């Protein structure tokens, strides 16, 4: 497969995953408006921006206005607009979709017509939606629909595209992005573990990571903060846990590059994927290890992206020619 094509599919998939995750965070945050104290809502916004690594629009000072009920709804409207539709914000849901579609358009011949048509139609709908109509209806419905459109696209991908290299790179992009974002979200919530008076509603974290129902099935609805962290880090069968993602990356890389995974020394991406998995699978899971484990996961995931790009996409020609 052409390196440029793989690059476009990989990024298309990363942007879609990020759009899905952003929509879900907004869904949960907007939902908390109804019944959470103003201070908790303000802290929620702060965590959301920190997790997504987006600079909030300048005039918002979450510390100063934290307890001001009057500004709560107006702020939420403006912040949601900024994170959903703002064209100048590269992290807004609409910007992320636009980039995903542009990546897809560059390699349209590699997608099945069903995939393209679904992506295109969802994009056209999002493009023509404005915050006012979302807000005057039920905002949470809109965010759920946005995530559902991405789920549908994934389903179509799995069932119409040949499970060859194109499919593999799409999965690779999805799980790299998921691991990086989930780790960032967990890191934004971790400080609340120590502070008992923080009043953090840990169900919101589970919902933000699409893991509330899987958690309840596994642990019942008794929400215990450390249990929640452990579940999102180490649970092997929950599709949004870090460990699950690490396993998907390891398997995916072996499919993409069997040689790099079967030879000593292992190719850099395989080595990193193996390390990521061992950090998450064999960690003693001690409570004080959350911080170091998350730091390790984030560092490895960053390197892994770099090594994937370096080995399969932007390798130097000299290096490739030497390897013959």
Site of interaction with another protein (CB under 8 A) = 1-4, 6, 105-106, 108-109, 113, 116, 165, 169, 256-257, 312-313, 315, 317, 320-321, 323
Nearest to 3 by CA among 173, 166, 176, 171: 166
Comparing CB distances to another protein, the nearer of 1 and 38 is 1
**Using an 8 Å Cβ cutoff, are 201 and 32 in contact?**
yes
Residue number with CB closer to another protein (117 or 141):
117
Map residue 42 onto helix, strand or coil.
helix
Retrieve residue 72's tokens: 């709560």
> Is the CB of 59 or the CB of 322 nearer to another protein?
322
Name every residue whose Cβ is closer than 8 Å to that of residue 92 and which is 6 or more positions away in sequence.
Answer: 22, 82, 83, 84, 85, 86
CB of 82 to another protein, least distance (A): 27
**Rounded-to-integer distance, Cα 287 and Cα 228, Å:** 12
Q: How does DSSP classify residue 57?
A: P
On whether the CB atoms of residues 19 and 150 are closer than 8 A, the answer is yes
CB of 4 to another protein, least distance (A): 5
**Which residue lies nearer to another protein by CB, 118 or 207?**
118
206 Cβ partners below 8 Å, 6+ apart?
212, 215, 223, 228, 231, 232
Q: Output the CA angle 24-187-87, nearest 5 degrees.
A: 45
**Of 123 and 290, CB closest to another protein:** 123
| φ and ψ at residue 64, rounded to 5 degrees | -70, -45
Q: Which is nearer to another protein, 109 or 284 (CB)?
A: 109
**Tokens 């953090």 found at:** 200
């Amino acid at each position: 497969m052409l390196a440029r094509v793989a690059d476009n599919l990989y990024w298309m998939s990363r942007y879609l995953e990020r759009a899905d995750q952003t929509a879900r965070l907004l869904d949960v945050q907007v939902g908390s408006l109804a019944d959470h104290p103003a201070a908790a809502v303000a802290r929620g916004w702060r965590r959301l921006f920190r997790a997504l690594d987006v600079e909030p629009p300048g005039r918002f000072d979450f510390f100063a206005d934290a307890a001001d009920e009057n500004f709560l709804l107006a702020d939420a409207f403006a912040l949601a607009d900024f994170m959903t539709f703002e064209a100048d914000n590269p992290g807004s849901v609409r910007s992320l979709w636009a980039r995903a579609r542009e990546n897809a358009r560059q390699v349209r011949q590699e997608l099945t017509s069903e995939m393209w048509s679904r992506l295109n139609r969802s994009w056209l709908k999002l493009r023509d939606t404005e915050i006012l109509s979302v807000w005057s209806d039920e905002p949470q419905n809109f965010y759920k629909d946005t995530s559902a459109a991405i789920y549908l696209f994934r389903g179509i991908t799995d069932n119409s595209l040949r499970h060859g290299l194109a499919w593999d790179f799409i999965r690779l992009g999805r799980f790299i992005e998921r691991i990086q974002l989930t780790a960032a979200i967990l890191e934004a919530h971790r400080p609340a573990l120590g502070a008992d008076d923080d009043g953090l509603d840990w169900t919101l974290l589970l919902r933000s990571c699409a893991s509330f129902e899987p958690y309840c099935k596994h642990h019942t609805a008794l929400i215990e903060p450390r249990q929640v962290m452990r579940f999102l880090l180490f649970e092997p069968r929950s599709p949004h846990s870090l460990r699950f993602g690490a396993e998907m990356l390891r398997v995916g890389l072996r499919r993409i590059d069997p040689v790099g995974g079967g030879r000593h020394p292992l190719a850099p991406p395989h080595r990193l994927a193996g390390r990521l998995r061992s950090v998450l699978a064999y960690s003693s899971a001690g409570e004080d290890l959350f911080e170091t484990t998350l730091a390790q996961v984030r560092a490895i995931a960053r390197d892994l992206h770099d090594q994937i790009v370096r080995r399969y996409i932007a390798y130097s020609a000299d290096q490739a020619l030497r390897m013959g």
